[in-house]
Copies of this chain bind each other. A is one copy, B any other.
Amino acid sequence: MTDFASITPRLAEQAIELPSWAFGNSGTRFKVFGTPGTPRTPQEKIADAAQVNKFTALSPTVALHIPWDKVDDYAALRDYAQSLGVDLGTINSNTFQDDDYKFGSLTHVDPKIRQKAIDHHFECIDIMNQTGSRDLKIWLADGTNYPGQGDIRGRQDRLADSLQKIYARIGDEQRLVLEYKFFEPAFYHTDVPDWGTSYVQVLALGDKAMVCLDTGHHAPGTNIEFIVAQLLRLGKLGSFDFNSRFYADDDLIVGAADPFQLFRILYEVIRGGGYGADSGVAFMLDQCHNVEDKIPGQIRSVLNVQEMTARALLVDGEALTAAQDAGDVLGANGILMDAFYTDVRPALAEWRESRGLDGDPFAAYAASGYQAKIAADRVGGTQAGWGA
């Protein structure tokens, strides 16, 4: 197995963007539970995100969701973030919470509603220009609930047309990233249900359009690392939304449901050249902390990704290739498992300390008193959630 010391330069490259909305309340259609200390404003969300980076040095940027994170002055918001040691990242559009979008947004039969949805993306690009964001991420909730409700083919054509209009506004240093999702909120068909659909749509747009892979948006049993390898091969893997799932789009902490799957995904990321700043692949969390504390939940998440990345970097690639080429099934599998079963936590703690961090970020945050402080300070106002 590769030596831990030799992988620390690569580990130092790691950056995992945090979603502002992970710090607000979330839940299911049945109930959203509130918690003391939940942010009320974009600023408070960013302050919480900065705590994650303070203790882990893993999350230098925060993604915004428009309109949930709308402010009057994005330059000021950026300054504020930078003053806390983080920067603003991906801008996420939202075309699923306006009554006009009941039957679609970029795919709607009515050109006026399509234009409204396109205009919303223009607004997002304007914000990107102010925040200095590189990526516009589009997750499309469009779809239908009943066979016959919509014209699947027509909707796909209209989607292509709408995306083309948005893409035309994307700046030279910017990218459009299109996310796919198997189902929900639509239950019969989703207009971008799989990587194939996202791929053909972004391929038609051009080089600045890429696929976003959310680890929770696949059919049961899907081999996600295969998709990672394929998209890297095609040069079209733009970003990850990390989370985990047992059933549907559970949005649990990344690595919580199937840590071995996360390991395999990260192994293919590295093997395919998708790791590191130059790769062009953005790593991001997209999770819902419905019943657990949010800041510690995010800390656990970035640590999970870091620990699994370390394990994946430890794989002895040369030995693996030799075993694969020899048809040594158990040997090859054993080389992979050897890295997975290695406990990287002590070495990571030591390395963190060598960089001036606490060896145990989770405990250090808990001891910091921040949680008690925000619970005491953030009284009144409306706690942030998926509506704000």
Chain A residues in the interface with B (C-beta under 8 A): 26-34, 96-97, 99, 102-103, 109, 141, 145-153, 156-157, 182-185, 187-190, 193-197, 199-200, 218-223, 225-227, 229-230, 232-234, 245-248, 250, 252-253, 256-261, 264, 268, 271-272, 290-293, 296-297, 300, 307, 320-321, 323-325, 327, 329-330, 332-337, 340-343, 345, 362, 386
CB atoms of A223 and B193 under 8 A apart:
yes
A149, B187: Cα distance in complex, Å: 30
A370–B295 alpha-carbon span in the complex (Å): 51
- A260's closest neighbor in chain B, by CB? B259
B345 touches A187 (CB 8 A): no
Closest 4 CB pairs of A and B: A196-B196, A219-B219, A148-B336, A187-B250
User: Which residues of B lie under 8 Å from residue A99 when comparing CB positions?
Assistant: 33-34
The winner among A109, A218, A257 for most chain B CB atoms within 10 A is A257
Residues of B within 8 A of A193 (CB): 223, 226
Cross-chain contact B248 with A247 (CB below 8 angstroms): yes
Could you say which of B187, B291, B293, B325 contacts A247, with CB atoms under 8 Å apart? B187
Q: Is the CB of B330 within 8 A of A296?
A: yes
Residues of chain B contacted by A258 (CB below 8 angstroms): 258, 260-261
Partner of A197, one of B29, B230, B324, B337: B230
Chain B residue nearest to A218 in the complex (CB) = B219
Chain B residues near A264: list those with CB within 8 A: 147
List of B residues within 8 angstroms of A247 by Cβ: 182-184, 187, 221, 248
A234 to B256, CA, bound (A): 29
- Beta-carbon contact of B336 and A147 below 8 Å: yes
How many of these chains are in the complex? Answer: 4
Q: Distance (Å) between the CB of A24 and the closest chain B CB? A: 13
A325 to B220, CA, bound (A): 33
A350 to B152, CA, bound (A): 34
Using CB atoms, name the residue of chain B closest to A195.
B196
In the bound complex, do residue A148 and residue B291 qualify as a contact, i.e. CB atoms below 8 Å apart?
no
A274 to chain B, nearest CB (A): 11
CA distance A158 to B261 in the complex (A): 25
Docked complex Cα distance between A151 and B321 (Å): 8
- Contact of A223 (CB < 8 Å), options: B188, B250, B324: B188
Given the contacts A246-B187, A248-B183, A152 and B268 also touching, CB distance less than 8 Å: yes
Q: How far is the CA of A307 from the CA of B76 in the complex (A)?
A: 54
A344 → chain B, closest Cβ, in Å? 9
- Judging by beta carbons under 8 Å apart, are A145 and B329 in contact? yes
Known: A200-B234, A341-B345. 16 other contacts (CB 8 A): A26-B29, A27-B185, A109-B325, A145-B292, A146-B292, A146-B330, A148-B320, A148-B333, A150-B332, A185-B290, A187-B250, A188-B257, A221-B247, A258-B258, A259-B260, A343-B343
CB proximity of A377 to chain B, nearest CB, Å: 21
Contact check, B223 vs A222: say whether CB atoms are below 8 A apart.
no
Name the residue on B nearest A332 (C-beta).
Answer: B148
**C-alpha gap A226/B145 in the complex (Å):** 13
In the complex, the answer to whether A327 meets B102 with C-beta atoms within 8 Å is yes
Residues of chain B within 8 A (CB-CB) of A196 are: 194-197, 199, 227, 230
The one of B103, B149, B219 that contacts A221, using a Cβ cutoff of 8 Å: B219
Give min CB distance, A350 to chain B, whole Å. 16
A156 and B230 contact, CB distance less than 8 A: yes
Chain B residues with CB below 8 A from A329, complex form: 145-146, 149, 291-293
Q: Does A291 contact B182, Cβ atoms closer than 8 Å? A: no
Could you list some 30 contacts between A and B, CB below 8 A? A27-B185, A29-B32, A29-B386, A34-B99, A102-B327, A103-B291, A146-B329, A147-B256, A147-B264, A147-B337, A149-B329, A152-B225, A153-B229, A153-B271, A153-B272, A183-B221, A187-B247, A187-B250, A188-B223, A188-B246, A188-B257, A189-B226, A197-B230, A200-B230, A247-B248, A259-B340, A293-B329, A334-B362, A341-B345, A343-B343
